[in-house]
Amino acid sequence: MREIVFDTETTGIMPGDGHRIVEIGALELVGRVPTGRQFHTYIDPCRPMPKDAQGVHGISSAFLAGQPTFEAVVDDFLAFIEDSPLVAHNAVFDFGFVNYELKRAGMKIIPDSRAVCTLELSRKKHPGAKHTLDALCGRYGIDLSARTKHGALLDAELLAQVYVELLGGRQIGLDLATELVAETTAPVRTLVAAREHEASDAELLRHAAFVAKLKDPVWLS
Which CATH number fits the domain that encloses residue 50?
3.30.420.10
Domain membership of residue 207 (yes or no) is: no
**What is the model's pLDDT at position 197?**
59
Alpha carbons 119 and 117: distance in angstroms, whole number: 5
**What is the model's pLDDT at position 27?**
97
**What is the model's pLDDT at position 177?**
39
**What is the model's pLDDT at position 207?**
75
Q: Which residues are catalytic?
A: 150
Alpha carbons 99 and 120: distance in angstroms, whole number: 20
Q: What is the DSSP letter of 177?
A: T
What one-letter code names the amino acid at 97?
F
**What is the model's pLDDT at position 183?**
43
> Is 9 annotated as belonging to a binding site?
yes
Sign of CA dihedral 15, 20, 25, 30: positive
Determine the number of helices (DSSP H) and then strands (DSSP E) in the chain: 8, 7
Side-chain-facing half-sphere of 134: CA atoms under 13 Å: 7
Domain membership of residue 16 (yes or no) is: yes
**Which range marks the domain in which residue 109 is found?**
2-174
**What is the model's pLDDT at position 182?**
42
Q: Do 6 and 156 contact (CB within 8 A), yes or no?
A: yes
Domain membership of residue 61 (yes or no) is: yes
Domain membership of residue 220 (yes or no) is: no
Domain membership of residue 214 (yes or no) is: no
Q: Which residues make Cβ contacts (< 8 Å) with residue 67, sequence separation at least 6?
A: 41, 42, 43, 44
Domain membership of residue 8 (yes or no) is: yes
**What is the model's pLDDT at position 212?**
79
Residues of the chain with pLDDT under 70: 148-149, 170-199, 218-221
Domain membership of residue 217 (yes or no) is: no
Domain membership of residue 63 (yes or no) is: yes
Count of structural domains, the chain:
1
